[in-house]
C-alpha cells in the first residue's frame, strides 16, 4: 500500500511538471514548460474565469475593476485596461499573462509581448467559448479538474437555455451600453450571441464597429420592440426612452435594465446574464398579447 501511495505522489509530481499546451481566442497555440504558478490577469472577465477555473490562488496581479469574486479585490493591481505598469508586472515575476484585446490595447499588448512572458489571449465571441476558456485556463494553471467541472456546469446551463428558447418568436431589440454617448454593440459581439440564443435580434447587428456610437434618431427609426440597458442608475438607462411614447418598446412597456457585470463581461456569470436576458425577452413576447 505504501508503494502505491508513493507511486501516486510521484505521478502527481511528474504531472505538475509536464508541459501544457492550449489554443487561445486568437487561434494561437500557447505552450508552457509546466503549469503556471504566477499569473497576471489583464481583464476583469479573465480574473473571474481564473477563479472559476480554480486558479485564483495563482493570481499575483490584475487590472482595475477585477472585483469578482470577493477574493479578487485583494489581488495586487498592475494598472488598467488603458495603461499597464510594466515595472510592476516585471516585479511580480509572472510565468503567464492572460490578455484581452480591445480598442486601446494593441500598444500595451505589444509592450507585454516584448517582455518575453507567455501571453494567452481571452476574447470569447460566443457563449460556447466561455466554458472553453475556463477549461483552457485551468489546463495552463494545472487546475484542470476544477476547471473542467466548472466548464461542464456552464455547458449544461447553456444547453438548457438554448433548448428552452429554441424557436421562440423573434424580438427586435436595442442593447444600450451607455447613454452619453449612446453606445451599443454590433452583431460580432458576444452580447449579440446571447440575444440570438434567446430569440432576440440586435437592430444594429450590421454595424462594422464592435461598439458603435448611434444617435437617438437612429434608434427611433429602427423602432425596437425591446430596449435593454446595463446602466446601474435608473436615470440615463432604459428609462430615458419613456420620453418617446411612440417607440414600440415604450408602448409595450419593454424597457429593461440588467446588471452590466452579468452581460458586459464575457466571464462565467454571463450565462446567468443570458438567462435573465431570455426571461426579459419572453416578457416582451407576452406583452404582445395584452
Say what the pLDDT of residue 236 is: 58
Structurally, the chain folds into a number of domains equal to 2
Pick the closest to residue 22 from 151, 146, 114, 135 (CA basis). Answer: 135
Please indicate, yes or no, whether residues 225 and 277 belong to a single structural domain of this protein: yes
Is position 148 within any domain? yes
State whether 197 and 267 are in the same domain: yes
The x, y and z cell numbers of residue 70, run together, are 470577493
Confidence of residue 290 (pLDDT cuts 50, 70, 90): low
Give the rounded percent of residues in the chain with a pLDDT score beyond 70: 90
Is there a single domain that holds both residue 175 and residue 56? no
Range 16-22 average pLDDT: 84
Residues spanned by the domain of 110:
15-154
Is the domain of 28 the same as that of 150? yes
- Does residue 182 register a pLDDT over 80? yes
pLDDT, average across residues 80-98: 91
Residue among 167, 171, 162, 160 nearest 282 (CA): 171
Q: 99-155 pLDDT, tens per residue?
A: 987 655 677 778 888 888 999 999 999 999 999 999 999 999 999 999 999 999 999
Within a 13 Å sphere around the CA of 105, how many CA atoms are in the beta-carbon half? 17
Among the residue ranges 66-75, 112-121, 259-268, the one predicted with the least confidence is 112-121
Report whether 124 contacts 130 (CB < 8 A).
yes
Domain membership of residue 98 (yes or no) is yes
Q: How far apart are CA 74 and CA 64, in angstroms?
A: 11
Cα–Cα distance between 231 and 180 in angstroms, integer? 11
Which of 136, 157, 160 is CA-nearest to residue 148? 136
Strand partners for 79: 84
130 and 177 belong to one structural domain: no
- Other Cβ atoms within 10 Å of 189 Cβ, number: 21
9 falls within a domain: no
Smallest CA-to-CA distance from 194 within 205, 179, 183 is with 205
- Asked, for residue 4, whether it belongs to a domain, the answer is no
Q: What is the mean pLDDT of residues 232-250?
A: 82
At residue 247, the pLDDT reads 97
pLDDT score at 20: 96
pLDDT, tens only, 208-231: 999 999 999 999 999 999 999 986
Query: With contact defined as beta carbons under 8 Å apart, do 64 and 162 qualify?
Result: no
Q: Which residue has the higher pLDDT, 272 or 12?
A: 272
The terminus-to-terminus CA distance of the chain in angstroms comes to 71
pLDDT of residue 91: 95
CATH code of the domain in which 216 resides: 3.40.50.1980
Same-domain pairing of 20 and 131: yes
| Whole-prediction pTM | 0.88
149 and 177 belong to one structural domain: no
Same domain? 174 vs 224: yes
- Gap between the Cα atoms of 18 and 2, Å rounded: 24
The answer to whether 273 touches 281, Cβ cutoff 8 Å, is no
Given 122, 154, 186, which residue is the final one in a domain? 154
Of 17 and 219, the structure prediction assigns the larger pLDDT to 219
What backbone torsions phi and psi does residue 272 show, to the nearest 5 degrees? -65, -45
Residue 5 lies in a domain: no
Res. 186: pLDDT tops 50: yes
pLDDT of residue 24: 93
What residues contact 286, with CB distance under 8 A and at least 6 apart?
Answer: none
Give DSSP secondary structure letters for the chain: -HHHHHHHHHHHHHHHHS-EEEE-TTS-EEEESS--SSEEESSHHHHHHHHHTT-GGGEEEE-TT---SGGGGGSPB-B-SS-B-HHHHHHT--SEEEE---TT-HHHHHHHHTTT--EEE---SSTTHHHHHHHHHHHHHT-HHHHHHHHHHHHHHHHHHHHHHTTPPPEEEEEESEETTEE---TTSHHHHHHHHHTEEETTTT-SSSS-B--HHHHHHH--SEEEE--SSSTTTGGGGGG-TTSHHHHTT-EEE--HHHHSS-STTHHHHHHHHHHHHHHHHHHTT-
pLDDT at 192 over 80: yes
Amino acid at each position: 500500500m505504501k508503494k502505491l501511495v508513493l507511486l501516486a505522489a510521484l505521478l502527481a509530481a511528474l504531472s505538475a511538471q509536464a508541459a501544457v499546451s492550449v489554443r487561445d481566442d486568437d487561434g494561437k497555440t500557447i505552450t508552457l514548460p509546466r503549469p503556471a504558478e504566477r499569473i497576471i490577469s489583464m481583464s476583469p472577465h479573465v480574473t473571474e474565469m481564473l477563479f472559476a477555473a480554480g486558479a485564483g490562488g495563482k493570481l499575483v496581479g490584475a487590472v482595475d475593476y477585477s472585483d469578482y469574486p470577493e477574493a479578487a479585490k485583494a489581488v495586487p493591481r498592475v494598472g488598467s485596461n488603458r495603461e499597464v505598469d510594466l515595472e510592476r508586472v516585471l516585479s511580480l515575476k509572472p510565468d503567464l499573462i492572460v490578455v484581452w484585446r480591445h480598442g486601446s490595447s494593441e500598444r500595451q499588448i505589444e509592450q507585454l509581448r516584448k517582455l518575453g512572458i507567455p501571453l494567452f489571449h481571452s476574447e470569447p465571441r460566443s457563449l460556447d467559448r466561455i466554458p472553453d476558456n475556463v477549461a483552457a485556463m485551468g489546463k495552463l494553471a494545472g487546475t484542470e479538474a476544477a476547471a473542467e467541472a466548472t466548464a461542464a456546469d456552464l455547458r449544461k446551463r447553456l444547453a438548457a437555455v438554448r433548448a428552452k428558447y429554441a424557436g421562440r418568436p423573434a424580438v427586435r431589440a436595442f442593447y444600450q451600453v451607455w447613454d452619453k454617448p449612446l453606445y451599443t454593440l454590433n452583431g460580432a459581439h458576444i452580447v449579440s450571441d446571447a440575444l440570438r440564443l434567446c430569440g432576440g435580434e440586435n437592430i444594429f447587428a450590421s454595424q462594422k464597429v464592435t461598439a458603435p456610437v448611434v444617435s437617438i434618431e437612429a434608434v427611433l427609426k429602427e423602432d425596437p420592440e425591446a430596449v435593454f440597458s446595463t446602466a446601474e442608475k435608473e436615470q440615463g438607462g432604459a428609462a430615458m426612452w419613456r420620453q418617446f411614447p411612440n417607440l414600440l418598446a415604450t408602448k409595450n412597456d419593454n424597457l429593461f435594465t440588467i446588471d452590466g457585470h452579468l452581460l458586459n463581461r464575457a466571464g462565467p456569470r454571463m450565462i446567468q446574464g443570458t438567462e435573465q436576458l431570455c426571461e426579459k425577452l419572453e416578457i416582451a413576447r407576452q406583452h404582445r398579447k395584452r
